[in-house]
Structure 1
Amino acid sequence: MSTHEVPKTLMVEGFRARRSFGFGGLSKGATMIAAMVLVADGLIATQAPITLLVTLPVTGVVFGLAAARRHGMSALAYYWAKFSWRRAAKIDATSYRRLLLPHPYALDLPGVGASSTLIRAHDPTTGKSVGVVHDRATGRMTISTLLAPGGSLMAPTGAVQSTLRTWSSVLDAMSTDEQIKGASVTIQITPGAGEALGDDVKARQDPNAPKLAKQIIDELVRTTPHATASVAPWMSVTVDPNASANPPADLAEQVAEALKVVDSLDLSGTGTDIERRATDIDLRRLVRSAYDPDVFNARDAEFADLSWVECGPQAADDGWEEYAHDGGVSISWVLREMPRRPIPYSVLLPLLAPGRFQRRITLAYRVLDPYEGEAVLEREISHAQNQAQMTAEIKGRAKWSQKADAQRAEKAAAQVAGGSQVVDWTLMVTVTARSTAELPAARQELKRAEKAMRSIRLRPAYGAQAAVFAAGLPLGYHPLVKD
């Protein structure tokens, strides 16, 4: 068995992108808009036929762009996003500078984190403090759990299968809880953590040890800072405490309700060890060190007195393909398309390998409730079959890709009927370099990791660098949870 091969029992499948039925490469909504625009062109032409010389070519170009693909999205969406970003950059809406103003919220975090605030709560079950991020705009609360880094690459096949089944049970619990809106698992790898390990080994070295042993230890101390990294994994759960049958009366009861919901999720047996609930100091460290990686290994006392807004950047510039902030420049990539074949459970390993730059990998997901999941799949089956039938009527036969897509939709429906859950998910990766000069090396490192995965394709988060950067942090922002 090669390093890329795993048993078939440890392969994961059932991925499919949502597709609506429309004409050509258009979606259902785009097809309806196209029909209305053509009707409007015809009505205008009845009064001034000469206008068809302008309206028809323009209409054709617009919907040609809507049908074409660019970087895994419609070309129209891509160019519209670029136009919107340039317009925002022209009026300096993509730049952030922290200013001291008399307005109560003048020092809020930038972008999608502007409505968040940090609450220090007391957890009666453990007797310790817990950090709760409250979204003032929506009322939702996000609680993060620190996990112990580990792996299952050397675990027996049966143990890994049991872990996957347990994760399925966790997703099932999320699907039936109306208060849980979404969750995400993030792993942050910060290189250079071996320096502290080297200092510790050097201080504990026995001066009377054999010469050969000293040479080996000295060699390890010399090479360790270049070969190790600090790994910080955590899981964030977004909860709407007001979605219960008896909504809480005040903020304190909302925090208590959110803690109770998160405590109901049992992660034992999922292959991960729970370290503890993230405290307010932990959250400050994670957020502040993302903007300034130099402070990641600082003492807790340096974060205890920081306000929530001070954890953000002093200045930031949201570029088309990069995000410049206090301690460096970051590039964020997102999932381009769903895998079209079964993937091994260890597919993300190349992304998790330490490199030269700080890397943050976030898997965000939203579990649909059973009724919504069933309705979604029924619509997807109808859309796939209608698309194949329309192609067959025009060209004489349906495309093999359309037939395969319909089969995947039917297979997913059969799995849901057997008790599986429908999950909306996405993958986000952020790499932080210390300067703009290091960006080419950071991009090259990320591209190599993407190619090594072979099954998952990523693309830059065009025009949304700041939002994707924040989505990987415990700021309370979840890209799949809609208002």
Structure 2
Amino acid sequence: MTTRTYGRWERPRSAGFFGLTWGVSMVGLALIVIVMLTFLITRSLRATAVVIGCAAVVFMPLAITIGGRSGWEIAVLRAQFALARARGEDLYRAGRFSAIPGIAKLPGLLANSRLIEYETAGGKRFALVHVRRTDHYTVILRILPRGKELVDQSQIDSWVAGYGDFLANQSRGGEVVAVTSVLETVVETHLRQQREVARLVRAESPEWARTVMHQAAADIGGVGVRVEARIAITYTAFGQGRSRRDPAEQAREIGRRLQGVLSQLARAGLPATPLEAWEVIGLVRSRYDLASQRDVETAGREITTTQSWDTAGPLAHEDRWDHYLHDGARSITWEMDLAPRGAVYETGLEELLLPRADVPRKRIAIVYRLHSAAEASDLVDSDYRDALAAEQTERGIASAAASIRVDNTRATRMEQVRGAGLARFGALITATAPLDADLPGIEAAVKDMAASSRLGIRRCYAAQAASFAGSLGIGLILPEHTSVSKRVTA
């Protein structure tokens, strides 16, 4: 039996001259025309030289990229970060002695979000996170992924294909903005196992049986780390007019679709359950404040008696250039820079996803930004035309890479015609540790795991707090909140 391989992903790029993008090439041509007109009008070499110098200052930062970002993009990010620090926007203080006592709202891009809970027609309760700035509604599903031990390869291939069908089905209507898959490792407290054992064990049972059950609950967890998985589905607002602004109408429509979503995930080997409001509050609270994890798990459903969405945030945070400080912890978030090159197996990210004792708190969020069927048809045709243009203009090694891109985009067109979906995807990797932990060692371990998975990553400079919130998988889609114009990006 042969094992399937996966790949053929390509970064969208418009073809221009000398390997540049089409937009940068057009800017270069416009600057050349300006220089020529300056000389024809003034007949002055000095004036022409000044214009050439100004044109070089404008063009070179666009043409030169560092770490996947253009020179102008880096300059704008640094200026924005310096301005935010000058205004004090990198600091956040909440709690009893803050400007609004007793409130610890989520900071930054999640400040205007709210949590609401509804019930489906079948009686299943689910929470919705509403990000009002973008008018997005997100339902979060707890996943119980099945391991690959003692599973035939054909079954694994079927599960992978089922997940692809799930993504394709979500993209067809155009209402789903993104699907975020999160796999997270957290420190094992054994409280859940002990609570479950206490529920199962009866007082009249034999003493040795009770001892075995309690000992088994204490030993579960292996290296002291447990794995949690969830999928967040982010919808744009449905309907028109008043119904579009009514959260109850949005929740009713999402609840109607929820059973179909759960069925599709089950066929992909991912039995799912919607998170309720108390679970989402506990999830967010324990990620910002590591010390609260045991209290959150002990409280369970009763957490809503003392906590709400307005108190789920950190009491203090500081957004630094290369890391994020929050409630006695320090986090670093990386973003995917390059997808694995060439073909990969379904185990491509296994080294990155495996729990490790030296990196107990690690979160990998894969964000799929889905295109509707109408958009997908236009995009695959555009990518194919750009790939053909690049193949005709490039030479040497670049020409070989362009030929591979032509083959990949041609295959994508054929698959899209046969009913496959089209999605942009990226990944965020967050490592969190107490302030006294060996963070350089954790950073090196994460980079090694990413390298073993053939995944290129780079640190999210000047956006650590926002990236941390985006990797939580609660509906914050970072590309919808960009602060740098696309005209100066790479």
TM-score scaled by length of structure 1: 0.85
The CA distance in 2 between the partners of 1:342 and 1:93, in whole Å, is 43
- Secondary structure, aligned partner of 2:164: helix
18, 29, 48: which one aligns with 2:23: 29
Deviation of residue 147 (structure 1)? 1.3
Whether the 8 Å contact between 2:105 and 2:314 is mirrored in structure 1 is no
Whether the 8 Å contact between 2:232 and 2:474 is mirrored in structure 1 is no
Instruction: Label 1:262 to 1:23 Cα distance change in 2 as closer, same or farther (>3 A).
Output: farther
Instruction: Label 1:448 to 1:340 Cα distance change in 2 as closer, same or farther (>3 A).
Output: closer
Whether the 8 Å contact between 2:174 and 2:371 is mirrored in structure 1 is no
Name 2:60's counterpart in structure 1: 64
Instruction: Label 1:175 to 1:482 Cα distance change in 2 as closer, same or farther (>3 A).
Output: farther
- Match of 2:135, as an amino acid? G
Deviation of residue 207 (structure 1)? 8.4
Name 1:11's counterpart in structure 2: 5
Instruction: Label 1:194 to 1:226 Cα distance change in 2 as closer, same or farther (>3 A).
Output: farther
TM-score scaled by length of structure 2: 0.84
- How big is each residue's C-alpha offset from its partner over 1:168-204, in whole Å with a ceiling of 9 and x where there is no partner? 2212211212322211111121034468769999xx9
Name 1:473's counterpart in structure 2: 472
Deviation of residue 432 (structure 1)? 0.2
Instruction: Label 1:61 to 1:159 Cα distance change in 2 as closer, same or farther (>3 A).
Output: same
Deviation of residue 267 (structure 1)? 1.4
Name 1:4's counterpart in structure 2: none
Aligned length: 463
**More deviation, 356-365/259-268:** 259-268
The CA distance in 1 between the partners of 2:260 and 2:242, in whole Å, is 18
Deviation of residue 109 (structure 1)? 2.3
The CA distance in 1 between the partners of 2:23 and 2:332, in whole Å, is 32
- Secondary structure, aligned partner of 2:438: helix
- Secondary structure, aligned partner of 2:278: helix
Note if 1:164 corresponds to 2:167.
no
- Secondary structure, aligned partner of 2:17: coil
Instruction: Label 1:290 to 1:243 Cα distance change in 2 as closer, same or farther (>3 A).
Output: same
- Match of 1:142, as an amino acid? T
Deviation of residue 330 (structure 1)? 0.4
Name 1:3's counterpart in structure 2: none
218, 229, 235: which one aligns with 2:231: 235
Note if 1:131 corresponds to 2:143.
no
Deviation of residue 436 (structure 1)? 6.1
Pairing of 1:277-426 with structure 2 (within 5 A): 277-297=274-294, 298=296, 299-300=299-300, 301-355=302-356, 356=358, 357-392=360-395, 399-426=399-426
The CA distance in 1 between the partners of 2:88 and 2:242, in whole Å, is 45
The CA distance in 2 between the partners of 1:449 and 1:85, in whole Å, is 30
CA RMSD of aligned residues (A): 3.4
Percent identity among equivalent residues?
Answer: 22
The CA distance in 1 between the partners of 2:141 and 2:445, in whole Å, is 29
Instruction: Label 1:251 to 1:415 Cα distance change in 2 as closer, same or farther (>3 A).
Output: closer
Name 1:20's counterpart in structure 2: 14
Instruction: Label 1:10 to 1:193 Cα distance change in 2 as closer, same or farther (>3 A).
Output: farther
- Secondary structure, aligned partner of 2:267: coil
Deviation of residue 281 (structure 1)? 0.7
The CA distance in 1 between the partners of 2:217 and 2:125, in whole Å, is 37
Instruction: Label 1:102 to 1:460 Cα distance change in 2 as closer, same or farther (>3 A).
Output: closer
- Secondary structure, aligned partner of 1:378: helix
Instruction: Label 1:263 to 1:420 Cα distance change in 2 as closer, same or farther (>3 A).
Output: same
Instruction: Label 1:60 to 1:421 Cα distance change in 2 as closer, same or farther (>3 A).
Output: same
- How big is each residue's C-alpha offset from its partner over 1:102-136, in whole Å with a ceiling of 9 and x where there is no partner? 79xx96422221221011223331x2432111122
